[in-house]
Amino acid sequence: MNLNLKDKKEIIFVFVFSCILIGYYINFNMNLGIYCSDIFLYLRNALYFTGTNIYSTYDIFLSPVICFLTSLLFRAGLVDRLAIYIVTGIFAILGNVGMYLLLRTRFDKLLSLTGAIVYSGLALSLTWLANGSLDVPSVAVTIWAIYFTIRAMDTPKYYVGAIVMFVISFFTRYNTGLILPVIVLCYIYHNSFKINRKDLKYMLIGLAIAAILSTIILVTVNTMSNGNLGFTDLLAGGAGGTLGSTKDAAYNTDLTYYIVNFPNFISSSSIVFVKHTPALENPTILSGLVLVIMAVGAVLWAKKCNFELNKEKIIGIILLLIALVTFNHFSSFITIIITFLGLLIIGKNSKNQGGLMMAGWLLANFIFFSYYVIKVNRYIIPAFPAFTYFLMVAVEEINERIPKKKILPIVLIVLFIVQGFAFTMTFEDTRYYMGPEEISDYIISNNDNYTDMIIGTYNMRPYHWYLGKNVTGIPNDRIGSIESASIDYYISHKELNLTNYTEETNIDGIYLYKRIIN
């Protein structure tokens, strides 16, 4: 890579574009409301970091990085969901800039800029952008971890950044640990299995900082949660594909889910909420264009390459085939290990080590999340940087064979910028997700003693946050339990026929029932 002062224009462009885009989506999300209930857990955990009693610390282990940073804004006086939108938005901005720098290690300035804009404008990322969810922020940190790893191969001081970024990414979202084999693969490609003396100093510094950070986070979380480090169960269950109940709305054993839906993840013309999760439907012409570019680029690349099979490469290919054939027969970790062994052997003395490393990044995420029985579209976002890399390889291959080499990159830049700002119009028009906040505001403004009231609800998460107090969870379909419960209000997301309550108000599809006092 030849990063110099001339790259400033591209970096500034990506930064300014990202800031405008994030501001636009923060405003959009403020009007849409919170549709992922996990975000209420992060907001509640952030409150706990300020010393506020949140009544339950069972989930405090969830993303201590995002929750802690959000708590700083809370301490500054911004105790609002806007705080977590800002924090996750800033991470997205840094991720887009990092994407440019990562691509710049392989491509020229125009293709790197194109890739950064494409990455920032992929439909699935936009769906979860600056809304408090962890997927986009965690990927942003992994991008920097991989970038620093690549730079460290020539400049050892970057090992410090690579190791620290890995730890931060892990405590932002635990499944980002999937980039560890990518980092290891990169190192072995360049240094074999030996550790060079010039690298050891910076590795030890990075490990020392990482150990301090990890210790502080783990001790803090362990103390705040009374010993519940639940991420260990998350990792174990995810590896075996066993974590999750058949009753979960996202339970799905279809191994092809992410592959089949990937065209929608690139560009989609419609978003509808299915069981409170945004589902991307009807891929656009832009999605088709991207896939055609990928296919044409792959064919051109294959024609250009001279594949020389030897004993080692055959062994590597056999390992990849074993991983494919035995997929879903063992744990996802075993499949990933076999896959990376195959990539390691194939990549020995290869000119395509960078591409093989990115293939490992892509495959690790597809294997892990396809194996996992709980499937939510946002889970595959960590594969997007590698996907963007291969798209730029395809564009580069096509550009080598056409006279006007700027046309295709500029077309992609324009189309993805347009998609970035027009995409909000594809969302289903709904006020439903503002309902919990508005019904809570109604209760607060009409009851001076609301903190002393006992309130039942169909979903505790949003009302813990909006009411700032403990609530009682009673499912809508348990009419008998609602009727007999000693509560003052019951909040429902559907109309009910209750004997002991009267409907006091209905806001955006959320019904508030007040107990009749005889």
Per-residue confidence band for 190, with pLDDT thresholds at 50, 70 and 90: very high
pLDDT of the residue at 341: 95
The CA distance from 200 to 206, in Å, is 10
pLDDT of the residue at 434: 95
Counting every residue written for the chain, the total comes to: 518
Per DSSP, the residues of 371-403 read HSSB--GGGGGGGHHHHHHHHHHHHHHHHTTSS
Q: Please give the share of the chain, as a percent, with pLDDT higher than 70.
A: 94
Lowest mean per-residue pLDDT among 62-76, 269-283, 308-322, 381-395: 308-322
pLDDT of the residue at 176: 93
pLDDT of the residue at 236: 55
pLDDT of the residue at 310: 83
**Mean pLDDT for the stretch of residues 91-120:** 97
The CA distance from 25 to 29, in Å, is 6
pLDDT tens for each residue of 438-464: 999 999 999 999 999 999 999 999 999
The CA distance from 435 to 191, in Å, is 57
pLDDT of the residue at 291: 97
Question: Are the C-beta atoms of residues 233 and 243 closer than 8 Å to each other?
Answer: yes
Only one residue has tokens 């700002």, namely 421
Neighbours of 125 (CB within 10 A): 22
pLDDT of the residue at 229: 65
Per-residue confidence band for 2, with pLDDT thresholds at 50, 70 and 90: low
pLDDT of the residue at 252: 86
Q: Please give the share of the chain, as a percent, with pLDDT higher than 90.
A: 77
pTM of the shown model: 0.93
Q: Would strands 268-274 and 277-283 be described as parallel, antiparallel, or unpaired?
A: antiparallel
**pLDDT exceeds cutoff 60 at 390:** yes
Arithmetic mean of pLDDT over the chain: 91
Only one residue has tokens 């949003």, namely 462
The CA distance from 379 to 361, in Å, is 14
Only one residue has tokens 């050891």, namely 200
**Mean pLDDT for the stretch of residues 277-304:** 95
The CA distance from 76 to 68, in Å, is 13
CB-side exposure of 347: number of CA atoms within 13 Å?
25
Tokens of 87: 């924090």
**pLDDT exceeds cutoff 60 at 1:** no
The CA distance from 264 to 123, in Å, is 7
pLDDT of the residue at 326: 82
Pick the more confident residue, 235 or 87.
87
Task: Output the CA angle 112-114-115, nearest 5 degrees.
Answer: 65
The domains of the chain are located at: 7-426, 434-515
pLDDT of the residue at 12: 96
**pLDDT exceeds cutoff 80 at 100:** yes
pLDDT tens for each residue of 226-281: 766 665 555 555 555 555 555 677 888 889 999 999 999 999 999 999 988 999 99
Closest residue by Cα to residue 147 from 1, 19, 15: 1
DSSP state for residue 130 in the 8-state scheme: T
Pick the more confident residue, 275 or 282.
282
Question: Are the C-beta atoms of residues 504 and 512 closer than 8 Å to each other?
Answer: yes
